[in-house]
Structure 1
Amino acid sequence: MNNRNRGKNTGDDNLFGSEKQVSALRSAVEDMHYLLSREYPEKAASELAGNRYKLKTRQIQALRGASASETQIRNREEKQLKITDLKEKTVHLDGFNVLILLESLLSGAYIFEGLDGCYRDLSGVHGTYKRVNQTLRSVELVASFFRKAQLKKLIWIFDRPVSNSGRIKQIILEFSQENHLDWEVDLQYNPDKILAENAEILVSSDAWILDNCKYWFNLINYLIGEENLSVNLIKMSCHDS
């Protein structure tokens, strides 16, 4: 096993580690929420809020991930399921979205809770997925959820064009066979569209998918509570302490 992880970037403590920085971010999220709710485009809204609070690039990335309009928040809330709704159901899982978020969380990277109650990180695939120290533990956490929710089947969807997607598919399939889990792994060229249009119930924190899906489950929120995970968490609502 390699010694890679998805922990903090150099400089993240300076961007997110002080109450002053977090306070500015929360104010920017409140401003962006106001603008999005009045149908400002996301790019323009994030630039206005970012400029006002002199945010750096990674802070603006966190701002965009955490923000949503009032309509988006209400729409997502209406489609969110509870753990008891999942028994004997088939659930589709946004593979890289969930896996990388869990790897980041377990690595001690900053995790941001958005206005919609979803958790997001600042990592990305950038064309290549690389397994890290926390990969297996992340898959084990998904397996724990699968068993406790008593799912009928779990279908992982990964981006086919991403380098090493075939390798992570093999890792997950081998894990599921060894642990007698009814899992499928599918590689797709347009996974977002597949998830939004074909999945009855899905797991993702991708904003576009959540806006366009039928039903979704907040897996990360569930795992943090159920597995008592230690999280380097920043709540982005001004109303959270």
Structure 2
Amino acid sequence: MRDMHESSADFSDSCIKEEVLKEKLLRPARDIRSILRWGYPKFSTIRFVADHFQLSLEERHILARVIMPPDRIISRINKKIDCSEIKDRKILIDGYNVLLTVDSLLKKELMWFCDDGYIRDTRYYFSKAKQAEDIEEALDAVLGFLSEASPKSVFFLFDAQISRSGELAGFTRRKLKEYKISGEAKTSKIADFELKTEGGNPESNVIVATSDGIIIDSVKEVLDIPACLMEKMGIEPIRLY
């Protein structure tokens, strides 16, 4: 459910904005999907259709996040692990990807159900250079879910090239202990490569938590933590169908 402290007027305005935006993008989304079935490139197709409908930069960004080429959809959906099926499993978390998406969810930003079955936000003006305390609520939400799901271990991986990642990793280690979750957090200069390598190794038997399409394409199993939290909170994403 939405935050009970949110005023009814704010809630109403938010719902109206969502409905107006959804209605505006439904037809362009259908047209783009129809063209993509013929094998045309995704981004040039979106640009062509968006120009025709005179869409804004934000609206184009939403379509680029939500719509996927047909050859990606089935493969990605088949890799998705149910939220209730991670007990005694090793979880490798794409730190910034997951925490910033959950941060958007908690800040009541628009959350979209994408063609490949994953939840993504479209708050594209954010900076990843956040202090640990800025996303403490998001980290608490993620760890609260994981503590109930009882995985074998949880490993957070943060991009070292983003400012203050070391502090965030240290803060996350302390929070893991606080929640009595077995795990670790570290930074890496090649975070995406490590996620793809470890997640793509069948012998590691690890589930990767991310919504990054490039990483999803390279790993065996994927957990969509924002989707798990939305299900628990009773929040429905926006669907362009």
**Which stretches of structure 1, 4 residues or longer, exceed 6 Å deviation after superposition?**
none
Compared CA separation, residues 166 and 111, structure 1 to 2 (3 A) = same
Aligned to 2:203: none
Aligned to 2:217: 211
Report the Cα distance in structure 1 between the residues aligned to 2:96 and 2:228, rounded to whole angstroms: 18
* Contact 1:91–1:202 under 8 Å retained in 2: yes
Gaps of 5+ in 1: 1-12
Report the Cα distance in structure 2 between the residues aligned to 1:159 and 1:186, rounded to whole angstroms: 9
Aligned to 2:22: 22
Cα RMSD for the two superposed structures: 2.3
How far does residue 52 in structure 1 lie from its aligned partner after superposition? Answer: 2.2
* Contact 2:147–2:179 under 8 Å retained in 1: no
How far does residue 71 in structure 1 lie from its aligned partner after superposition? Answer: 2.1
Aligned to 1:113: 113
Aligned pairs for 1:179-218 (under 5 A) are 179-199=179-199, 200-218=206-224
* Contact 1:127–1:161 under 8 Å retained in 2: no
- Letter aligned with residue 128 of structure 1: A
**Counterpart secondary structure, 1:83:** coil
How far does residue 141 in structure 1 lie from its aligned partner after superposition? Answer: 1.7
Is 1:128 the counterpart of 2:120? The answer is no
Compared CA separation, residues 210 and 184, structure 1 to 2 (3 A) = same
How far does residue 130 in structure 1 lie from its aligned partner after superposition? Answer: 4.0
- Letter aligned with residue 182 of structure 1: S
Report the Cα distance in structure 2 between the residues aligned to 1:230 and 1:99, rounded to whole angstroms: 18
* Contact 2:42–2:68 under 8 Å retained in 1: no
* Contact 1:103–1:132 under 8 Å retained in 2: no
How far does residue 32 in structure 1 lie from its aligned partner after superposition? Answer: 2.6
Count of residues paired in the alignment: 221
Report the Cα distance in structure 1 between the residues aligned to 2:32 and 2:218, rounded to whole angstroms: 21
* Contact 1:153–1:182 under 8 Å retained in 2: yes
- Letter aligned with residue 149 of structure 1: A
Aligned pairs for 1:151-170 (under 5 A) are 151-170=151-170
Q: Show CA shifts across 1:127-181 (max 9, x none).
A: 6234565x22211221122122210111111111001211211211111122322
* Contact 1:204–1:216 under 8 Å retained in 2: yes
Aligned pairs for 1:1-241 (under 5 A) are 17=17, 19-124=19-124, 126=127, 128-131=129-132, 135-199=135-199, 200-226=206-232, 228=233, 230=235, 233-236=237-240, 238=241
Report the Cα distance in structure 2 between the residues aligned to 1:29 and 1:198, rounded to whole angstroms: 35
Compared CA separation, residues 132 and 106, structure 1 to 2 (3 A) = farther
Aligned to 1:7: none
TM-score, normalization by structure 1: 0.82
**Counterpart secondary structure, 1:87:** coil
Compared CA separation, residues 207 and 33, structure 1 to 2 (3 A) = farther
Report the Cα distance in structure 1 between the residues aligned to 2:192 and 2:49, rounded to whole angstroms: 28
- Letter aligned with residue 129 of structure 2: T
Gaps of 5+ in 2: 1-12, 200-205
* Contact 1:90–1:152 under 8 Å retained in 2: yes
Report the Cα distance in structure 2 between the residues aligned to 1:209 and 1:37, rounded to whole angstroms: 23
